[in-house]
Structure 1
Amino acid sequence: MRTHRIRRILAAGVVAAATGSVLLTVPAQAEEPDTPSPVAPRMTQGLDKDAREGTPAEAARAHLEEHQDTYRVPVEDLATQRTTKSGDQSSVRFRQKHRGVPVFGAQYAVQTEAAGDGRQRVTSATGTLFPELTVSTIPEVTEPNARQRMYSLDRAVAGVVGATTEAHGLTVLPGSDGGRLTWHFTVRGAAADGSPVRQEVFIDAHIGGIALSYNNIDAAGAAPAQGTGVKVDGGEERIAVNEEADGSYTLVDSSRAMYEVSGGQIRTYDAARKNYLDVAYGPVTEDVRVVSSPDDRFDGSATSSGAVDAHVNAGKVYEYFKNEIGRDGIDGKGGTVHSVVNVSAGGNDYANAFWDGTKMVYGHMDGVPLSVGLDVVGHEMTHGVTEHSAGLVYLNQSGALNEAISDYFGNAMETADKGVAMSDPTSGLGRRVPVQRREAARGVRAA
């Protein structure tokens, strides 16, 4: 999970923890927050014995409502964001609101499994909810005044070159004091040394002070570098990596055009055989580490896990969309591309790969990581592009179109990379992963 350097402007107030989304209240001048706000359970399992009627979203909402004594947040404060499916399993994501205002970092995902006859069994729920919010959501400072105060008070944005400001409206920052109502702005541009800035600033909507300000670009202590990656087929390839402050190297690519615009990177993680259900859905968690090496050569486990291939292929897919389609990344806004490799199914090979709504997840088939196939990687990343653009529901005809679009682009990327003409009779065949394996691996996939 990303670590942000947080600037403390006011002596009192709410700041974001450097790890995760929990917000904390700390004493004046404190460097590290240490007292978490009250939160609902981060994970629950086994609360429901019987399956529930309805869609996954209906079953998930009924589950949350029935167990409000556990989650401690009224179900009417939870807005359904989206549902992603993987075969019989679904994940329904909710965003907490306080009196209609979004709560910073407050999301919950409820996992369900089809039980037949239109019924769903809730298997688990994970995330962060804040049950003790009491702050008034009526602002006393207008948004234009808050923007003006931001530029006069926050030195981090006052010196930004070519600054552009995006307003996100009201946001509640949770804290043990009942929370703070804020106006949220994003300031983009460059620092005096030329490094990219994407400053997230929250102005207190009641008193006008800065409640929270941090640079949302993960570049502190790291520098773009070049390394060597050994792929599963034994080939070596120069790859873009980061050199960390301690002298180690990570599979973090800051060389793409999106980095200068939005701080977007290509980041590759090793799940170390964690169960795919523990990894899928939502941001990459702290226990899933970005792939690292003591020097600039990535081989050994970085090869066998499929991390090097995933890193290389994600870069190729990014460039294909950028150069051929004119699209900056999966979300079209230069957002970071996350790939998690080396997941398992109960300790055994997980013969699948899928887009889970936020990232790519890859398993192995017969010991071979599925990230070796550029057409597989292109297929999964295209599912993300479709979700962020056409939004085709992964069901019936729209689901078939969703899948067909990913098939087309995955294959087009593979043939383009190999220099095979589309008129060649073999252009429709997968080249890294045999066709029958590729199709088998697509038997279960998130939209």
Structure 2
Amino acid sequence: MSKTSNLPVSPARSRGKRRAASAAGAAMVVAALLATGVTAGQAGAATTGAATTGGGTTAGARPAVLTAPARAQLLRDADTAKAATAKALGLGAKEKLVVKDVVKDADGTVHTRYERTYDGLPVLGGDLVVHTSPRGTVKGVTKAVKATIAVPSTTAEVTPASAARAAVKRARADDARHATADGAPRKVIWAAGGKPVLAYDTVVGGVQKDGTPNRLHVITDAATGEKLYEYQGIETGSGTSQYSGTVELGTAKDGSGYTLTDADRGGHRTTDLKGAESGEGAAFTDDDDTWGTGKADDPQTAAVDAHYGAALTWDYYKNVHGRDGIAGDGKGAYSRVHYGHGYVNAFWDDSCFCMTYGDGQDDKAPLTSIDVAAHEMTHGVTSATAGLEYSGESGGLNEATSDIFAAAVEFNAKNASDPGDYLVGEKIDINGDGTPLRYMDKPSKDGGSADNWSDGVGDLDVHYSSGVANHFFYLLSEGSGAKEVGGVKYDSPTADGSKVEGIGRDKAEKIWFKALTTYFTSTTDYHAAREATLKAASDLYGADSAEYKGVNSAWAGVNVTP
């Protein structure tokens, strides 16, 4: 499934021993599942008796740094055990698990994320996470949907051609240009709506009205032809380049010159599209390894900023959260600059595992600032973990996650030319008056974002419904009321007029990351996000901690209550 996002913003004997150990481990997990009788919605309880760090963090709950081979072995173990795991979970005979991701905590707790199939068909909204203790007992299972996966028949009454025509018509209604179905619709089980339904997933290509590539997924009932859901596979955002001064770049020797290829960060590379809207782009080369002039008329300048932003983001996730690359496998993505002409946006696309940047209005302001790069790469992290659907409240949480970690990367970078703040796109004069694209302390200051949760917030564009989580993160980090942080003045209200005490941004980041990677699923909404972050705070700091209470207070401050 393609996703794109932009800003608006050994010897044989040894191998045999390892295989035997893996099989034994799989059997232990299955036995534990059977013994505990795990059901949907059970929480991963805080580890008791765990050591804490000097800062109060439960050390064992922090993510472990996994090497690529270690992660790959965990994935193989899970794959070996998947059939027995499905049986132990009580899944039906037609259901199978597909291993997607694995996260291991420092104390040995493992969180394995699975997708699901039914009679060979993908189940959209069927994802789940199994939380296993260091001793191999299961602490809980988090499911995207609690309903039993079953449909009366997998024979469709609506033809694929009919579903495709309807999907293309829907895309054209959104003013998409050159809208055509990207291949035949795939038959799926749509479970994200609560009741499983046989459906078609049609992906419509072309170009959105602002020039962004189109990957519109239209979910159609295979019995009636009725549209059940739609979401955009290209996750979007807007901004222009803010140069970060003289910076160090990871480059590689190539013949007599150099290329923008960062061997220290999974081989991440930056390429030049030269105005094209497809392809990998051409390699940037330089004879003396001195890149760019700091001016937009030098094509290398945008590449410098994009390459630098990608390096900062890689380093942040590895050094702060122990994640080795976007997908956690140590492999670099790549960045493409100079997309199209006059394109005022940037986006992440799963299909190419890449970030793409436009050159802005009149091709004079490339969208390659630190926070834009971090925002786009974070869409890739979200896709590789929770897979939050890019529509409704889950879409708002997807966008907010990118804003939250964009701010975190910016603070972590400590770049004097672009210091950290709680403003989104503050260096990109997208409004023409010097104001930022979004505000985390009071999201409604942008004229469209929601400060607090309400019944209709999921009906907003995801860049506006994201305001609820952005506001929560600010309150959790800094607290409510007027204050100045890093030279920037903020004044954050609360929905109920209550006073919220911040727990500090470093702790808030860790809580959100743990919730994202271990408790969020594709269908998580704001109330489920509240429960997930409370679980994460309990894991990390304890259920009686100030941090746990802070999470509870911050959600109340944005009207997300039990």
TM-score normalised to structure 2 length: 0.35
Between Structure 1 and Structure 2, which shows a larger proportion of helix residues? 2
Q: Which has the higher strand share?
A: 1
